[in-house]
Amino acid sequence: MPDLDTRAIHDGEPEPRVEGAVSLPIFQTATYTHDDPDDTVRYVRYNNSPNHEALHEKLASLEGTEDALVTASGMAAISSVLMTLLDAGDHLVAPATLYGGTLDLFDVSGEGPADWEDALTPNTNVLYAETIANPLLGVPDLEAMADFAEAHGLVSVIDSTFASPVNVRPTDLGFDVVLHSGTKYLGGHSDLAAGVVAGSAEHIDQVGYTLKLLGGMLDPQACFLLHRSLKTLGVRVRQQNETAQAVAEALDEHDAVDRALYPGLPSHPDHDRARSLFDGFGGMVSFELVPDASVDGFFDALTLPVRAPSLGGVETLITQPIHTSHKSVDPAVREEMGISERFVRLSVGLEGTEDLVQDLATALDTSRTVE
């Protein structure tokens, strides 16, 4: 099989090229002529324009799955999959540490195999996970989770946004359905919203039907932007892996940081597991300032990171999860999870590594001197 970078550029491209265009044009039309009743109807809500079809093939190739589809956002992907796989009264199991938007969709319990077993009910149909948990960056025992799901006849669903297919392909570990917020690393430029679902042809066909009814399709302009971005996914993510490692090591050594969380750090509780599962540790770094540091002073002193939600872009983004990804989570639950006001999430971009490390260090130094 060709290298991931080769597939990212060439798989899914139309042959022959449309009017010779090297880049796939934007098919900015809502509907298509339908002269033969036996032909498949093309309609933008059905996610089957030439822009959609090229993306689906490329994404399936990157994830190593039979098929894939795109949605209007990551949450559209998550909700469409769960509404497809779960009927009224059905139940799912998942770790307690997940993206706040996902937590809003369902109650979760359990952190290990014994808890998963205890959490099962006669109506349990889905096991849900994240490859790297948001925002604490834990790496669950993914292989054990996939095995558990198979043993109990559950559909295993995993959000792999933080890792991207550059660092791990969850179906290789036994998962059935892979989700992404394409807004993040797959898009990579903070200029689009999209979601991705990848899996077997059967699952994608089922999810596609639900998505068609919900209307959560991706518009052709966003398809074009995502299609463009996927071609540089590998080079972007590998550089972010490298810079994030350097940033995490610097944060781990700074006396204004109480704890630094990054799967690439030997001190990370899941470091050995991450080394065995992943080709790279990702571009997300989380850390907590010491109690006597000024959080506002730290943020005010930064010059390179942009204080904004989301992640995966070429610019470094920084945020406090209590105000963004986990704002809607009950404060007591946040505290139990270990997400305090001093807890910071950093999405490492493509700035020069030394520039970024120095800027963070200067801001951390300032946080200790601000009255």
Q: Which residues are catalytic?
A: 45, 99, 159, 184
Contacts of 141 (CB under 8 A, 6+ apart): 112, 113, 273
Which residue in 208, 206, 209, 184 sits closest to 195, CA to CA?
A: 184
Q: CA-CA-CA-CA torsion for 5, 239, 128, 332, nearest 10 degrees?
A: -170
Which residue in 197, 186, 175 sits closest to 8, CA to CA?
A: 186
Judge whether 268 and 274 are in contact, CB under 8 Å: yes
DSSP state of 322: G
In three-state secondary structure terms, 327 is coil
Both tokens assigned to 39: 């032909």
Cα angle 38, 43, 45 (rounded to 5 degrees) comes to 135
For 328, counting Cβ atoms within 10 Å of its Cβ (0-12 exposed, 13-18 middle, 19+ buried), the class is: exposed
CA 72 remoteness from chain centre: 14
Which residue in 189, 307, 287, 179 sits closest to 240, CA to CA?
A: 189
| CA pair distance 224, 260, nearest whole angstrom | 37
DSSP per position, 178-198: EEEETTTTTT-SS----EEEE
Using CA atoms, how far residue 158 sits from 91, 101, 173, 281, 341, in Å, is 16, 15, 11, 17, 28
Contacts of 35 (CB under 8 A, 6+ apart): none
Helix (H) or strand (E) holding 157: strand 155-159
CA 216 remoteness from chain centre: 18
